[in-house]
Structures are given as C-alpha cells and as structure tokens.
Structure 1
Amino acid sequence: MAASDSMSVQTARNLIRTAPSGREFEVLRLVSQLANQNTQASNARELLLRILDKVEAFAPYGKAVNSLLRTVGLFPYVSTDDLSLPDLIAYEAHRPLDFNRGDIVFHEIQAKVYRRLMSGENVILSAPTSFGKSLVLDALIASNKFRNIAVVLPTLALIDETRRRLSEFRDMYRVITHPSQALGERNLLIMTQERILDLPEMPELDLFMIDEFYKLDISRSDVDRGILLNQALLRLSKTGANFYLAGPNIHALSDSLPQDFTASFIATNFATVASDVTLLPTPERGTEFEALSELCETLDGPTLVYCSSPNRARAAAKYLLESGVGEPVTALRPATKWLGENFHPDWLLCKTLAQGIGIHHGKMPRAVAQYQVGAFNDGALKFLICTSTLIEGVNTSAKNVVVFDHKLNRKNLDFFTYSNIKGRSGRMMRHFVGNVYLFRAAPEENLPTVDVPLYTQGADTPTSLLIQLNDDELKPTSRNRIEEFRNQHHVPLETLRENNGVDPQLQINLAKYVKENIRLVGADLSWRGWPTYDNLKACCKLIADFLHPIRGRTHGVVSASQLTLKINMLASSGGDITELINRELASPYETPDPDEAVERTLDFVRHWPGFAFPRLLMTTQSVVNPILVSNGFPRCDYSAYASSAKGMFLPKYISDVEEYGLPAQLAMKIVGSRGSFDSIDQLLQRLARSRRTDLSKFESDLFHSFTKFL
C-alpha cells in the first residue's frame, strides 16, 4: 500500500501536533513506509522529530520509534536500551574515534563526512543549519590524527564561540586566534580570513576548514571580505593540506572550477530539527510594528526576530518595549547598570535588556554582543532582535524565529538567505520542532550555484584578487586584465599586492594625485610616529577621496574632515568611548538623542579605527613613500599610529580581549591604564592571574566566564 493511500504527511503532522489519541500506530505505519522509500526519507525524519517533540503520546510505541530512528539515520536520538544486536553494531559504527565529549554519536550523513575526511578525502558539505557541521570538525580534532589544523571563520564573534568550544583540546594543541601568537609544536588556528593572511608564518597544515564557504562567492558576500577569503583559500591550499568546506544548502559549485580542485561534494537536506512555518496576514502600511508586538505577546520560548538593518532592529526593540512586551528580569539588572555607566544610561539596550529583550547587530561591542547570545541561550533573554550578523553562523537555542523584514542589504531575501534564517529555529537535543513566523510569503525555492573566483576567474573577478596570483595560476584572459598594472610605473606591483583587498586602480589614482600635488601635500604626508592634526587631516582626505569614498553618512562620518576630527578625539581621549558619546551629544551641529549618539559612536569605532582606517592608512603609506623620497621629503612611517588606532588607542592588545568576551573597559579596570604587554598571551596571563575584589557582580560574572576557557 502506498503511503498516500493511507495517510498524508500533512495529516500526520497535524495529528502529531495535537497529540493523537488512538491513531499513533497509523502515524508510525506511515513513517515506516516513508522510511523505506529513498525519495521520502526526509519526510520520515521530519515526522519522527515531531514525534520526539510529543514523545509522551507515543510512549507505548517506544521500541518502534527507536527502530525507525535507527532506520532513517537519526542515531543521536536513538536509545540503546531497546536495540537489537545488528542495530547496536550500526549504532556503535556511528561513534567517532577517541572522542570523550559525553556520549557522542553521529547521524548517518555526519558519519559519512567524517569517514571521508579521516580517509584523506577533501569534502565540501552543503547542509541545513541544524546538520551539526561543527561536530564533525570537533571529532576530527579529537582523533589526534592531524598535527596542524586551521579553521577559518567569517566573523570575530565566531572565533570566540569556536575557541570556547574547542578549549577542551588545549592539552593536545596550542590554540591560536591572533596572528601575534607564537606557534607551538602542534597548532589549532582559529581565525578569520584577514588573520590567516596576517600570519607571519604558516605551519605545515594537515587539515583546514572554511566555515560558511559560500562567502567565497563575492556575489553572495561583502566583496572586500570575499576577496580576502579567496586569498586565504589560496594560501591554505598551497600547504597541500586536506580541506573541509562547510556551509548552508546550495545547488552546486560552479562548473568552471578547475580539475585540480578535487573534493567530494556532499549536498544533503538531512536535518536534525523540524520547522513549523506560519505565514501571517500582511499588516497594513504603518502597522507592522503593532503586528510584531501582538505576535510576540503570544509566543512561548526563546525567540529571534530578524530585521534587515541595525536601525530596523532598534525600532522594533523600542516598539516592543513601549508596548509592554517582555517582563522585568532581575538577573539582567547588573548588566543594564554596567552598560549605562560605560556607555550611556539612556541607551536603548539598557532599557530593553531590563525587560528581557536583546538587540544584536554588527555595531555592537563584541563582548556585549556575546554576552547577549549567552543570556539568550541560558534563558535570561526571551527575545533577541537581530540582523544577519547573528543569523549567519552564531549558534543560538531559539524555539521561534520571526522573519519580520524580508530584505537584506536593501534587496529582497532570496531562498538561500531565507533558508539560513529559517534554520535558526529549533536546536538539536533541545527543541525538536522550531516555529518560523513570516510577515511575507517565502521566496521561491531556488538555491544558488556558488562560484569560487580564485579558480573560475570570470569577468567580474576583482583585479585586487587576480593581482595576487602568479602567472601559472592565471587564465589568459585574467593575465590580460592585469597587464596594465604590471606595465604602469606609478605603484610597484609588489606594493599593489601587499595591500590585500584594496583595488589596485584606486592605489594608482592615489599615487597620481600625490605626484601631481607633491609640493602641496608632501610636507603634511611625511610624518612619523604620531601625527599633528594637519598630518592626520591630509591622510584622511586621501583615504576618503581615493580609497574609501564617503557618501552621505558613512559609518558615523559625513566627510574627511569629520573623520579626522573623530579619529583625533578618540586618540586624545585614550580610547574612552563614553567621552566620544558625550562629545557626540554636545555637538553644536547635530542634536542626536542619547541612543542615536551611542549607535553612531559604536558604528564609527567598529568600522573606522577598528577596521578600515588602519588598513587604509598603511596602504597610503606604502603608496606615497616612494613619491616622498623621490621628491626630497623624509620617509613617512604611519605604523605606530595605525596600530594604535586598530587597538582603539588603548594600551596594546587591550581591545583584542573583546573577542574573548571581556569588555575593554573591564580589562582596563583590571590591568590599569599603564599596563604594557609584549604579546596578547602576556596580557591574557596577566588578566587570568588577577585577584581584583572590587568588581561588580556583572564584571565578576564576565571575568569568570572569560578565565574559564583560557
């Protein structure tokens, strides 16, 4: 009898949801029929996950459920008490070698990926969010087969999450997250693509993993970071190590990849949680926040609310707060007090956190963002209003996901991004069934084909990537595209290459301008150590005019003059964010409210001193130095100032502990403003030895969490 002749999958879903009375056997019979059809196995798994969510109703059929779980490959959910000898042998065959973290057993496809990697194959895995890709990596590390391993992650937030998870292997490996840390005999590198490129020495790798590998395709990611990820892949590939690329569901890899890019491509829809998707009535224009508030009032369990931008996330959180959504959380009062003292008491986050509502986006200080994710996973925060910075990679334990906005970067969500957001509902071994609420219909199902421009070198591959390749790595068309850069005499080819990710034509345009105006700008550019205000202004103008155009308000600044002013203010304050916020509030030209002042300041420090300015300042140095010297001006050296800016003008390495979950303000309180450290390891050791007794409860909790995983 065909499954459709007896009961439909949808009917079975409805029966399980309402805890069927008297029809349990009928549901299990359908599952059995589906489990024995290759094309229906995913439906069988989904129904079994729903049964596990209502396990009490199926208690009399425990042995049958257990057997079916084994049949569909859901071994992590299988109970060994009722297994036959053949089933028990199959169960044990899915256990990774030498892995002592609890009772770990792989599901069917995890085991397949693990075995192939252990046998020396390269694997590219395309799988749902709930697949358990990271657990495969953990098992590979635990095997002790690989001497040096590199893990490339898309964000600094993921570095700390991964470092904490892998801290159990500290006795086997030297765990390195920062390029300044010295290599050990056996190394586990956990880094972003930028840090992989900044490593002064690459150990002889045996294995590397790139998480969220689809970001290699610059059409699906930030172009600059996509270029750097391709360069990181090039550097890692040259070690000859085996690789494991993992990411969400895609359709395929580009057909134009070279033959020597050999790997097993495993695309699977194997999921370990199920989702109930509810399409809500489209609210009338101007009432969407009201509709969101009404929905949130009805939800039970931890809830993520996806918004398209930080401004939308703030607006949504503010409306929920004013509508009375959430309830006071006593455990979060120390956090709100500390945030008010160290940023501003009227910052919206201080108010929403007190009601169990978090706000997570790319402008947030890293330690504050990590604290909120931890509070959400621990149940202290019921709601976490977030943007794509949380959706793409960070693990959460959300029961519900609300897709409030259906846009990303001002474009409608495609099916790929929607699937990634949707996949955040539910959590293996915690929420068998997640709930997804949509304010617009889901996009049409159409998964992408991922391109790797490092290899395909299509017409849209940026020249800043092509210029990094050797002649034998370039296609003839690519060689022709960069010929003009080899033949020009404004900027040496080596300099164009050294400035990773910066468009070579922009560097050449900068050089031409400086050459033509050397008598006008030369004196202001030939500084060393610490600049005068005019020195800084001259460099900021070159950056804004040639390397990073400022159009409108760009990450908290509207002009090169304002960039100069704010960089100088941050330097003069010694990295005091509170002072920068107060100066923003006191500006005679603008009168932002405290919340706006905090957000603008956070946006500025994260993007400009924390990322773009130091890199572009050093690019400027490398381009202008030969011009200065050839025209009789002293050589410039911006390195000390660039390094200080990258560290937010705090003592060296202090700002880096943010990614370990310790706010820079707290690190400064512990070590003092005169702390001087030769390496980040020295700073971490100094912090770990601290016995400060004057920390607040919030600070003590953060400090304990910080030291636990060092």
Structure 2
Amino acid sequence: MSTAAFDWPAISQLSGDALKQQIFSIMRTAALSVNASETDDPQLLEIIPRLADLVPHRVELASFNQAFSALARATGLWNYIDKETADTADRLIAETVTLPELGGITLHREQIAALNELFTGRNLVLSAPTSFGKSLLIDALLASGRYKRVAIVLPTIALLDEFRRRLRRRFRDNFQVVMHPNDTPGEGPAIFLGTQERLINRTDLGAIDLTVVDEFYKLDPNRRDERSVTLNAAVYKLLSRSRQFFFLGPNIDNVQVATEGRWKFEFLRTRFSTVAVDTFDLRGITDKQGRLFDELGEDENWPALVFVSSPDKANRLALAAAEGLAVSDLSGAFADWLRDNVGKGWPIIKAVEYGFGIHHGRIPRAIASHMVRMFNDEELPVLFCTSTLIEGVNTAAKTVLIFDKSISRTNYDFFTFSNIRGRAGRLGQHHVGKVFLFNEPPPPELTEVSPTLFGDDDDAPDDYVVHLSDEDTSKEIDDRMATLRANLRLDNAGLRLASSVGLEVAFALKQHVAAALRQRRPIVWVGYPQYDQIRAVIDIIVKVKQPREFGAFSASQLTLFIQKLRSSATMRNFLLDYDTNFQGDRSGHDNVFKFLRACEYGLPQLFSVVEMFVRSEDYVCDYSLFLHELSRWFRAEELKNLDEEGIPIQISERFYVSGDNRASLTLRLEQAVMVGAPSLSVFERKWVAAALDIKVPT
C-alpha cells in the first residue's frame, strides 16, 4: 500500500472530530491492506509507530486504543499491543510473546519466526533493518537455557562493552561473561565476548553450543575491511567447534556460498521495521553548513546524530557548531574533566562544553562510551560521528543528519547509506525518526555478501588458508602451505602468527630483519629493552608501515612515545605531558590516542613477527615481557580492562593498590561511589556509577 497521501505532520496538528475522522480513515485503509500487502511491507508497517505517537496520547482517540492494538496484532508488530486496553485475543498474543526473563519485553512476529528457526537447531543467517531488534534475539536465546557455552563475535571493543553491560545485567546469575584476554572461564555456562582478534587467539574455548556473529557482512572481503581475513579465520575456528551458529546483519539481499559448502544454514531476509522515518531532502541548499547548524539548534530534532566522512571533519564541524550554538548546559563538568585529565589543548573540549559530542576512532574508548551515554540521556543532544558509531553501537537518536556522502574519500554505497539512515528512531523512545539528506543518496542496489569461509577454500587468500585444519585442506592448499613454509622458514603456527599482520608484510619484515642482523642492529634482546633496542625494531616496522598509522610522524617520535608511556607514573601524567609539549596544528592533537590504540594490538603483533624472524635465525630473543606490558599501556591489567568497560584510567588509577585484582579494585570504586568519597568529583561519581551499573545514593 502507499501511505504517501497521509500528511502526518498535518494530521498531528488536528484535534477533535477532525482528528478522529482522519485516524479512522487511516486505520481502515491499513486494515484493508493487511491481507493485500506483503507481510514485511515497510509502508504498511510504518503506520503502527506513527499511530503509536498519536493514539495513546490524545484524549479524543481513546476509543481507538482497542482497534489500534488489533491493527498491531494483524501487522505482526505485537510489541505495540497495549495490554491494558486490548481485547482478550490480542492481549493473549502479546502475553504469549512477552519474556519476563528480559524484563517483560514483548517480541514481534518476525523475531518469533527467527527464534523458531534457531530453536529447531538449524543455523540461521538473518538480514533485518537496524530497528528490527536483533540484539533481543541473542538475549532470548540465552534466556532459553538451551545454550551453555556461547561465543559472540563483535566488530569493536565499544560494542563488546555495550553487550557486556546488557548481558551481565540480565544474566549475571546464569553465565560467566568472558571478555578480556586474561579472563579465565570456569566449567559452568559462559559467554565468550570478543572481537575477531581476541577470539582467534583464545585457547580455552572448548566445545561451543552457539556461535553468534554480529554485523556478519564484514566477512565479505569485497567490503574492503582490512580485518576481513582475520574475521573469517576466527569464525572458521569457532564454527569448527560449534554446534550451531547465528549470523546477524542489516540490509543483505543474498549470501553467496560454494556449491558444496561446509556449513548449511537458513537465510532469513526481512524488511520488518519497528519505527517510521520522515526524510527531509536538503540537497538543494546552498549553505549546507549553515542549514546543518540551524537544524541542530532545534530541540525538536534532539537527540541528533550528524554523520560525517572522517574524524578530522567531525572535530572541525563540532568546533564550528560550538562557535555559534550552545545546545546544553549539562556538559560543562565533562569539559572541565577533560581539561584536567587529558589536557586543555585538546580542541574538542570546547565543543563538549557547549553540548556537542564527538565519536570516532581517535576518541579514547571510555570517553567515547561516556559521550554516547550522555547523548542517550540527552545531556549531549548532538553527536558528530563517523562510521565507527554507525556500525554497531546503539544510540537513542531521534534524528540522523547525513551531512557527507563518503567515508574517508570513498563514496559510500547504498548498503552503507541504508545502515546510516537506519539509525534514526528507536523503539520505545522515538517511534518516528527523522533523516536529513544533504547529498544525493546512492542508487538502490541489491547487496550480496560473499564470506570467504563460505566460498571455495582453493580460491581463498593465503592469510586465511593458513588457519584451516588438516582435514579441511586440499592438495592444492597443501602445496601452497609448503611453499609458504619454505619461503618464510616458518612452521604452521608461525604462518598463523605472520598472517596477523598479513603474509606479504611478514615477508617484507623477514627481509628487513635479515638486513638488520647483518648490520648488527640491536634487535636481539630479552626482557625489558633499552631505548636503542626499541628504536631498532621500530626502524624495521616503519619500513613496511607508515609511522602515521601509529599516531606518530617518524620512527624517533614513535619510540619516544613508547618510552614516555612506560616511564610516566600515571596515564594522566602521560597525557598532560603530551599536551604541554605538543607542537604543530592542533587538529593533530588526538594522534596520541591513535598511538595508544596501536599499542594494544597493531604494534605488539608487528613486534612479535619481528621477534619470530630473529629467532628463526637461531638467536636467543624474547620480547614477550615488553609486549605484554605495551599492550596494556604499561599499567596494571585491571586498569586497562576497566578502561574498556567505561572507566577511564585517569580515575581508576587513583584507587589502584599494588596487588589488586579486578574484584578488589571494583569493590573499592563501588564503595567510593556509594559513600561519596572526596576522591571522586560529583561528575566522576556519576560516571563510575553508570559504568559499573550501580545507583548513586541521593
């Protein structure tokens, strides 16, 4: 059916009999269309959330409550049925699909269809819009009691933390949530949460009942994600030990598989959406930035996400907005904290002070997490973001303003555009979202995903096939593996380590290591290295990688950053020293956070490959102690883990006592929150309470 004739803004302005007549006409048209339309017809479905914004809130429409619930039942949007006013039949349906284990959440028809597939034991690949409620399906599976050991693969650590909070809140008495590399699972039920880089390196997974892969489209190497190979290898490892799998993602039309695929699955594609969206076309506006700021100044658009192409663009626009607008008076304490704990020279602090949040890959995780929390609480009504937020983290955005048409310098395709647009509106908060388009959207096209692990292994890249078990290889693959072992002089375990940086990069590193050894460069060391030993390894790394990939301008600066990080007594001292000594364009100020991210995984992996090639030349060499410290920023493991869970190190390091484990440090923080300890400001107390999911005493 077509709803183009319905002028919803005008309808919302009606009252009395005029409003009643219009709503009756709409409901009658929708009822007649239920049997004539497809079950997931977006134009039919969007009537329900639009009516939900009117019927329960207008006195003159009280007599329509029961009819509205009947229409919600007929369309399958059972979560919109009003159990207080619905007739007996409609109420029974809603109660049947309401899950008390999840706090009384009511599922809709398509969620039930997906669960029925999974409860039969079949593997399922689900493609559904962002507002479908895919995460609820994972929770429903866990609540069923059918699965004891579950692995969940997520694309970012930010999303790991979001899942961790929700799962611990709902299942803390049923499952152990294993998220950090040093977490040790017990014998009982456990949920392994991890990015592909973490899960591929776990040796304690055992037999898995269910593997869940979120944002599964990233398995397709054609999406130009450099982490795709590792993701495919990690998922291959998990599926090889898993009884069942469930892949989730948005807006996929087909999944390509080899003729004789190793794993069978059902593919469920649905357009079923639980919210409606109003689209505003601003492509013809001359002063787009001016119009953007005009829309951001309207509180009826809040909370608003602004999608831009790059971190630099997000920073620049947020600062420009703060020059002429103030959209919140609740974020001043956050800005003050950033000045005191990161450095007053960080340019985005001014934007935060006036109510503009920023979310991209160069924002520290705990700070980015708090930005999102304040955004959802409408304390930061506007959030400038890049694709790091669009791909995964849930927000309570009412409005999405798509200001750019590219990611970095590449125009996004219709699939990515649909994902960005799908962030507008949120079930239970904003039934009707808004999307503002500032550029021509890409033409609609079907999206097919071709995961490497569902394809022909003989055609797969070397970086993937080195992870295949012996029973899954062919003669052609065995020959390729033999050639790789001979060229790199590595065994199979060494090839898998080399693949973590890319086999081509590893081969280049091998050559540079050999040259450095001939030149007697100090790359042979054990334990804790001196400056010149670190520099010697860095000199090799920057021959295959640009220093800017690690947030530095040169090998010497990168080495200096590492030295200062390990010699600083606290993270706060390190960041304030960086801020004080920073020279150059302030737009590059946040490169220090890029450096810190590189210390977690990228740099340690490259160091490990260099070490492996040094040892292959029969030298006694062991970088492990240094690399373990580097990956956790030369801080206690507990501090690093809490930072990933939303508590910045600048706060937790004040409370850390040598010998603390996670439980003792967390308990000390909880006590400080509960008693209002002076070592926490009022703002910090609220921050820590939110991160630990505890209520602050009034």
Same fold (TM over 0.5): yes
| Cα-to-partner distance string for 1:423-459 (whole Å, 9 max, x where unaligned) | 1110001111100001112211113211111231478
| Secondary structure, aligned partner of 2:258 | coil
Provide closer, same or farther for how the CA distance between residues 491 and 584 of structure 1 changes in structure 2, counting only shifts above 3 A.
Answer: farther
Contact kept in structure 1, 2:458 and 2:474, CA below 8 Å: no
Contact kept in structure 1, 2:50 and 2:432, CA below 8 Å: yes
| Secondary structure, aligned partner of 1:11 | coil
Question: What is residue 586 of structure 1 aligned with on the other side?
Answer: 581
Contact kept in structure 2, 1:254 and 1:451, CA below 8 Å: yes
For residues 474 and 276 of structure 2, what CA distance do their matches in structure 1 show? Answer: 45
Q: Give 1:691-702 correspondences, 5 Å limit.
A: 692-702=677-687
Question: What is residue 144 of structure 1 aligned with on the other side?
Answer: 145
For residues 160 and 257 of structure 1, what CA distance do their matches in structure 2 show? Answer: 38
For residues 105 and 583 of structure 1, what CA distance do their matches in structure 2 show? Answer: 50
Question: What is residue 676 of structure 1 aligned with on the other side?
Answer: 659
Question: What is residue 600 of structure 2 aligned with on the other side?
Answer: 610
Provide closer, same or farther for how the CA distance between residues 52 and 253 of structure 1 changes in structure 2, counting only shifts above 3 A.
Answer: same
Question: What is residue 641 of structure 1 aligned with on the other side?
Answer: 626
Question: What is residue 632 of structure 1 aligned with on the other side?
Answer: none
Q: Give 1:465-544 correspondences, 5 Å limit.
A: 465-474=464-473, 478-479=477-478, 481-488=480-487, 490-521=489-520, 524-544=522-542
Question: What is residue 563 of structure 1 aligned with on the other side?
Answer: 558
- How far residue 360 of structure 1 moved from its aligned partner, in angstroms, is 0.9
Q: Give 1:94-133 correspondences, 5 Å limit.
A: 94-96=97-99, 99-133=100-134
Question: What is residue 23 of structure 2 aligned with on the other side?
Answer: 24
| Secondary structure, aligned partner of 1:434 | strand
- How far residue 221 of structure 1 moved from its aligned partner, in angstroms, is 5.1
Contact kept in structure 2, 1:581 and 1:601, CA below 8 Å: no
For residues 209 and 709 of structure 1, what CA distance do their matches in structure 2 show? Answer: 28
Provide closer, same or farther for how the CA distance between residues 584 and 663 of structure 1 changes in structure 2, counting only shifts above 3 A.
Answer: closer
- How far residue 23 of structure 1 moved from its aligned partner, in angstroms, is 2.4
Contact kept in structure 2, 1:34 and 1:44, CA below 8 Å: yes
| Secondary structure, aligned partner of 1:545 | coil
For residues 30 and 215 of structure 2, what CA distance do their matches in structure 1 show? Answer: 33
Provide closer, same or farther for how the CA distance between residues 682 and 119 of structure 1 changes in structure 2, counting only shifts above 3 A.
Answer: farther
For residues 508 and 610 of structure 1, what CA distance do their matches in structure 2 show? Answer: 23
For residues 407 and 111 of structure 2, what CA distance do their matches in structure 1 show? Answer: 31
For residues 621 and 669 of structure 1, what CA distance do their matches in structure 2 show? Answer: 35
- How far residue 243 of structure 1 moved from its aligned partner, in angstroms, is 1.1
Provide closer, same or farther for how the CA distance between residues 175 and 471 of structure 1 changes in structure 2, counting only shifts above 3 A.
Answer: closer
Provide closer, same or farther for how the CA distance between residues 200 and 685 of structure 1 changes in structure 2, counting only shifts above 3 A.
Answer: farther
TM-align CA RMSD: 2.4
- How far residue 32 of structure 1 moved from its aligned partner, in angstroms, is 1.1
For residues 302 and 484 of structure 1, what CA distance do their matches in structure 2 show? Answer: 56
Q: Give 1:540-551 correspondences, 5 Å limit.
A: 540-546=538-544, 549-550=545-546
Question: What is residue 44 of structure 2 aligned with on the other side?
Answer: 44
Provide closer, same or farther for how the CA distance between residues 269 and 354 of structure 1 changes in structure 2, counting only shifts above 3 A.
Answer: same
Provide closer, same or farther for how the CA distance between residues 9 and 391 of structure 1 changes in structure 2, counting only shifts above 3 A.
Answer: same
For residues 573 and 65 of structure 1, what CA distance do their matches in structure 2 show? Answer: 63
Q: Give 1:260-659 correspondences, 5 Å limit.
A: 260-284=262-286, 287-298=287-298, 300=300, 301-324=302-325, 326-329=326-329, 331-457=330-456, 461-474=460-473, 478-479=477-478, 481-488=480-487, 490-521=489-520, 524-546=522-544, 549-550=545-546, 553-574=548-569, 576=571, 578-580=573-575, 582-583=577-578, 586=581, 590-593=583-586, 596=587, 598-606=589-597, 608-629=598-619, 635-659=620-644
TM-score (norm. length: structure 2): 0.92
For residues 181 and 492 of structure 2, what CA distance do their matches in structure 1 show? Answer: 25
For residues 583 and 670 of structure 1, what CA distance do their matches in structure 2 show? Answer: 23
For residues 106 and 488 of structure 1, what CA distance do their matches in structure 2 show? Answer: 55
Provide closer, same or farther for how the CA distance between residues 116 and 641 of structure 1 changes in structure 2, counting only shifts above 3 A.
Answer: same
- How far residue 216 of structure 1 moved from its aligned partner, in angstroms, is 1.0
- How far residue 154 of structure 1 moved from its aligned partner, in angstroms, is 0.9
| Secondary structure, aligned partner of 1:241 | coil
Number of residues paired by the alignment?
Answer: 680
| Structure 1 stretches lacking a partner, 5+ long | 630-634
- How far residue 143 of structure 1 moved from its aligned partner, in angstroms, is 1.6
Greater Cα offset, 54-63 or 102-111: 54-63
Which amino acid in 2 is paired with 1:61?
A: F
For residues 228 and 392 of structure 1, what CA distance do their matches in structure 2 show? Answer: 18
Contact kept in structure 2, 1:153 and 1:212, CA below 8 Å: yes
For residues 597 and 303 of structure 1, what CA distance do their matches in structure 2 show? Answer: 26
Which amino acid in 1 is paired with 2:571?
A: D
Greater Cα offset, 560-569 or 531-540: 560-569
Contact kept in structure 1, 2:342 and 2:575, CA below 8 Å: no
Which amino acid in 2 is paired with 1:665?
A: Q
Contact kept in structure 2, 1:359 and 1:384, CA below 8 Å: yes
Question: What is residue 254 of structure 1 aligned with on the other side?
Answer: 256
For residues 499 and 642 of structure 2, what CA distance do their matches in structure 1 show? Answer: 25
- How far residue 165 of structure 1 moved from its aligned partner, in angstroms, is 0.9
| Cα-to-partner distance string for 1:64-113 (whole Å, 9 max, x where unaligned) | 221111000011110134444443443344234xx433322210000111
- How far residue 475 of structure 1 moved from its aligned partner, in angstroms, is 5.5
For residues 459 and 543 of structure 2, what CA distance do their matches in structure 1 show? Answer: 24
Contact kept in structure 2, 1:575 and 1:648, CA below 8 Å: no
- How far residue 117 of structure 1 moved from its aligned partner, in angstroms, is 1.4
Question: What is residue 221 of structure 2 aligned with on the other side?
Answer: 218
Which amino acid in 2 is paired with 1:189?
A: F
Contact kept in structure 2, 1:526 and 1:628, CA below 8 Å: no
| Secondary structure, aligned partner of 1:189 | strand
| Secondary structure, aligned partner of 2:688 | helix
Provide closer, same or farther for how the CA distance between residues 18 and 256 of structure 1 changes in structure 2, counting only shifts above 3 A.
Answer: farther
> 2:80 aligned to 60, 71, 77, which one?
77
| Cα-to-partner distance string for 1:271-294 (whole Å, 9 max, x where unaligned) | 00011111103444xx43223212
2:12 matches 1:11: no
- How far residue 566 of structure 1 moved from its aligned partner, in angstroms, is 1.9
| Cα-to-partner distance string for 1:379-416 (whole Å, 9 max, x where unaligned) | 11110111111111111111110001110131112111
For residues 521 and 367 of structure 1, what CA distance do their matches in structure 2 show? Answer: 42
For residues 156 and 489 of structure 1, what CA distance do their matches in structure 2 show? Answer: 32
For residues 694 and 664 of structure 1, what CA distance do their matches in structure 2 show? Answer: 14
Greater Cα offset, 161-170 or 87-96: 87-96
- How far residue 172 of structure 1 moved from its aligned partner, in angstroms, is 1.0
- How far residue 13 of structure 1 moved from its aligned partner, in angstroms, is 4.4
| Secondary structure, aligned partner of 1:80 | coil
TM-score (norm. length: structure 1): 0.90
- How far residue 519 of structure 1 moved from its aligned partner, in angstroms, is 3.2
Contact kept in structure 1, 2:275 and 2:427, CA below 8 Å: yes
| Secondary structure, aligned partner of 1:653 | helix
Which amino acid in 2 is paired with 1:592?
A: D
Contact kept in structure 1, 2:499 and 2:506, CA below 8 Å: no
| Structure 2 stretches lacking a partner, 5+ long | none
| Secondary structure, aligned partner of 1:146 | coil
Identity of counterpart residues, as a percentage?
32
For residues 350 and 127 of structure 1, what CA distance do their matches in structure 2 show? Answer: 37
Contact kept in structure 2, 1:211 and 1:245, CA below 8 Å: yes
Contact kept in structure 2, 1:179 and 1:199, CA below 8 Å: yes
- How far residue 652 of structure 1 moved from its aligned partner, in angstroms, is 3.3
| Cα-to-partner distance string for 1:640-664 (whole Å, 9 max, x where unaligned) | 1111111112233322211111001
- How far residue 308 of structure 1 moved from its aligned partner, in angstroms, is 0.9
For residues 682 and 120 of structure 1, what CA distance do their matches in structure 2 show? Answer: 41
For residues 600 and 516 of structure 1, what CA distance do their matches in structure 2 show? Answer: 31
Which amino acid in 1 is paired with 2:267?
A: F
